[in-house]
Amino acid sequence: MKKSLIALAVAGAFAAPAFAATSNVDVYGHLSIAVQDTDASGVDLDLVDNVSRIGFKGAEDLGGGLKALWQIEQQINATSANNTALGGSGLRNTFVGLAGGFGTVVMGRHDTPYKMATGKYDIFGDTIGDYNAGRLDGVSLINNVHDARASNAIAYIAPAMGGLTLAGAIVTSMDQLDMGETVDAISLAAMYGNGPLTVDFAYQDVDSFSAAWKLGAGYKFGDTKLGFVYEDSDDAQDQQGWLINAAHAMGPITLKAQYGQVEVGNADQDQLVLGADYSLSKRTTAYFVYGQGDNDAGSDVSGWNLGVKHAF
């Protein structure tokens, strides 16, 4: 009996630190896989992974109202021919930081405030109709060079003040530009939400490359949400674009529509997307998205997704 008690005490001594080390870790993510078909040349019916991901995050109370934050998030591609553990997909927001009465500061890989500001208006995000993915004839209604995740960001998010949240970041290298040198960027955003109204403004300046700004606005009345975004950027080709969208909930069904135009240099491009979500539960949604894009350089491209998304 005495030996058994000693064995339990020893086991507890080793188990307790391991439990404490993982007690503040949350595991989250989602899987989103769809059947896809487009009329683009050489593209057949296929199965696509619509940016599935897994993440781990946590916080530690440091006392005095201060806490440490961390997050690791990784994209998963279940339909990739690359048979690695995570499908050869990319690292997403991964950072360490501090939060308190002064706000939140994080360092690492993170969405720029420019990207954060209007993400709420991307109602077809991570599908064939995503507003900056260019999956329909290469049409990106939002400039996807500026609207990006930066791998070398020092970001600050201020405490909300009467519905207004300010955010800023210094980016030591905008890696997605692949310019072979360090490119510094400053990214700023002001995001306002009060009741049914949201208004968001963002500005970003990438040294030796370009500057961009955008304005977003949304309004909800009853079961209907409306959204609008306008953007102006001046990189290799000046780009001005806008989009308007609407989503209407009817019980478990949400009907969605979006139309936008963008002028890239001398090209007048446009995109139309229609879709419907069916909520099977709080975590599981079946969705259908149909879209059509025209990049003003040839034939239009249309296509659709029919998929299931499960969050955990």
The pTM score is 0.88
Q: pLDDT tens for residues 229-288?
A: 999 999 777 899 999 999 999 999 999 999 999 999 889 999 999 999 999 999 999 999
Domain limits, the chain: 27-311
Side chain identity at residue 214, one-letter code: K
What is the total residue count of the chain?
312
Asked which of 218-232, 244-258, 289-303 is least confident by mean pLDDT, the reply is 289-303
CATH class of 27-311: mainly beta
pLDDT tens figures, 63-111: 999 999 999 999 999 998 887 778 777 999 999 999 999 999 999 999 9
Is the model's pLDDT at 18 over the cut of 80? no
Please give the C-alpha separations between residue 255 and each of 140, 177, 247, in angstroms, as whole numbers.
Answer: 22, 36, 6
* Residue 204: pLDDT over 70: yes
Taking residue 88's Cβ as centre, other Cβ atoms within 10 Å add up to 13
